[in-house]
């Protein structure tokens, strides 16, 4: 297993895809997890606003993400299986979509595009997000959020509520004074430069499902259906 520290933005560079396999848990984060993340983003954004230079603001560490490079990836895209950390990675993708929509709501169209560049790969496919769930319910819920509530969307899904939570707070932060464009830029700077994670990359011969069970054995017990999926 190899490890290094990087920013979330570096993970979401162009032509990169993260696949969350079926042995992973369903998306489980709620307000209890969303609120501390928003507080962290907000506090770092405020530090950037008050600092003489963005570089002087220390980053926020989000925790580790364990992954393994896929063997069947295409030449045009780097593809990885997420073994652990899908909750925070999925949430960050939703946050980026929510901040893009907040930018549009505040008539900051250029900022919307900057946030969206980290959400989706732009290629011939109509729907090509940088985070893709193989578990059907998670796939449908995330697809609906990233495509902005297409027909048949469960508007009360956990992912939809996550999106609405972060969009409303981002709008409030952007509009808190007359510096709306700079406030929005501060949020973007947090997500681009100040959210860090420790990436642990498995070797090709390591079994991701076994690593997943081991990593979660000391935490919240896996539900029986999750073990069956595994």
pLDDT for the residue 219 = 44
Is 30 inside any structural domain? yes
Using one digit for the tens of pLDDT, what is the confidence trace for 117-138? 999 887 655 557 889 888 778 8
Q: How far is the C-alpha of 102 from the C-alpha of 220, rounded, in Å?
A: 34
**Cβ atoms of 174 and 106 closer than 8 Å:** yes
Query: What is the sign, positive or negative, of the torsion defined by CA atoms of 161, 116, 127, 147?
Result: positive
Rounded Cα gap, residues 109 and 105, in angstroms:
9
Q: Is 77 a domain residue?
A: yes
Assigned domain for 226 exists: no
Distance CA 59, CA 189 (A): 11
Helix, strand, coil: what percent of the chain each, to 5? 50, 15, 35
H helix runs in the chain, sequence order: 8-11, 31-50, 86-105, 109-116, 136-146, 158-174, 180-189, 208-216, 224-229
Is residue 228 a part of any domain in this protein? no
Query: Looking at the 3D structure of the chain, how many domains does it have?
Result: 1
* Inside any domain, residue 227: no
pTM of the model: 0.85
Q: Is residue 118 part of a domain?
A: yes
Strand-pair partners of 200: 3, 66
197, 8 Cβ separation under 8 angstroms: yes
Q: Tens-of-pLDDT digits for all 230 residues of the chain?
A: 788 999 999 999 888 899 998 877 789 999 999 999 999 999 999 999 999 888 899 999 998 999 998 877 666 678 899 998 999 999 999 999 999 999 999 999 999 999 999 998 876 555 578 898 887 788 888 888 888 754 445 567 899 999 999 999 999 999 999 999 999 999 999 999 999 999 999 877 666 556 555 555 544 444 433 433 33
**Neighbour count for residue 89 (Cβ, 10 Å):** 22
Per the rule left: phi > 0, alpha: psi between -120 and 50, beta: everything else, 218 is alpha
**What pLDDT score does 154 carry?**
56
Query: Is residue 121 domain-resident?
Result: yes
Query: Tell me, what's the pLDDT at 21?
Result: 87
Residue with tokens 């996550």: 162
What's the first-to-final CA gap in the chain, in angstroms? 21
Domain that holds residue 124: 2-221
Residue 63 lies in a domain: yes
Calpha distance 133→142 (Å, rounded): 8
| The pLDDT value given to residue 95 | 97
């Amino acid at each position: 297993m190899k490890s290094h520290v990087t920013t979330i933005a570096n993970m979401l560079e162009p032509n990169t895809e993260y696949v969350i396999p079926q042995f992973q848990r369903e998306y489980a984060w709620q307000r209890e997890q969303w609120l501390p993340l928003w507080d962290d983003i907000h506090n770092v954004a405020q530090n950037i606003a008050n600092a003489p230079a963005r570089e002087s603001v220390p980053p926020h560490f989000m925790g580790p993400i364990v992954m393994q490079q896929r063997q069947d990836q295409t030449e045009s895209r780097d593809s990885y299986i997420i073994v652990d950390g899908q909750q925070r990675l999925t949430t960050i993708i939703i946050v980026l979509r929510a901040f893009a929509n907040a930018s549009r709501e505040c008539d900051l169209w250029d900022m919307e595009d900057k946030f969206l560049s980290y959400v989706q790969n732009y290629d011939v496919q109509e729907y090509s997000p940088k985070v893709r769930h193989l578990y059907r319910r998670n796939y449908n819920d995330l697809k609906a959020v990233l495509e902005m509530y297409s027909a048949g969307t469960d508007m009360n899904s956990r992912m939809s509520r996550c999106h609405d939570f972060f969009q409303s707070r981002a709008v409030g932060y952007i509009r808190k004074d007359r510096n709306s464009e700079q406030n929005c830029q501060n949020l973007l700077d947090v997500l681009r430069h100040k959210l860090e994670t420790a990436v642990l990359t498995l070797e090709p011969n390591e079994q991701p499902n076994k690593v997943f069970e081991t990593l979660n054995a000391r935490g919240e017990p896996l539900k029986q259906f999750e073990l069956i999926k595994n």
